[in-house]
A and B are shown apart, each in its own frame.
Chain A
């Protein structure tokens, strides 16, 4: 597609369950990012993939969070044993190195 695609758009899950959020970056973009935005807050960096380099995981808030990027394209963000404070919009973005970073529409996660 023309832009960054994320799924699901909305996810409601019970506390303690695992969730997976998917991101399809813009074709050809070598860099992929995950950010989180809690209600009324700014964006918080989570993780960054660049090419075949080891990802920068410094923003992941706990070991319940993990992300993979398969084949240098699609990425999955996994949250294990979800907690209510995980409720947020999870935004994926992609770019060519050193250039404009384009964001998807986000996945709204609600943990009940």
Chain B
């Protein structure tokens, strides 16, 4: 079964609004990574957060990690039409580095 599961499955917002999506996982992890995918092609890496970190920022992106709840959230602030994409979380866990477990993704649509 998939380790990471995103919520919601789909999100539709207007430009300027914030978008929040969540990722839950089942077992202890080493790292959690968020990726963006446009039109079903390559994955663009957004942020890596390690299990001993709680929050990271990159531009308009903010990622939090709560290991006690086995969950992470990705916040996109002041969204733009170009943020329209699918967003995936991916986890790796002890003794299985390299075997990322991906969720099914959250499809985000930002309308002008």
Contacts and interface: CB of A to CB of B under 8 A. Distances in A.
A42 B99 contact: no
Contact of B45 (A31, A59, A98, A102): A102
Interface in A33-80: 33, 35, 37, 39, 41-43, 45, 48, 50, 56, 58-59
A11 to B, nearest CB: 14
A37 B99 contact: no
Contacts of B42: 91, 103-106
Interface string B96-112: 01111111110000000
A48 B40 contact: no
A105 B41 contact: yes
Given A43-B88, A45-B99, A56-B99, A103 B43 contact: yes
Nearest to A95: B98
Contacts of A106: 41-42
Interface residues of B, number: 22
Contacts of B99: 45, 48, 56, 58-59
A101 B100 contact: yes
Contacts of A50: 97-98
Contacts of B48: 99-100
Contacts of A43: 43, 88, 90, 100, 102
Nearest to A44: B102
Nearest to B48: A100
A112 interface: no
Nearest to B104: A42
Contacts of B97: 50, 97-98
Interface of B: 2, 30, 33, 35, 40-45, 48, 88, 90, 97-105
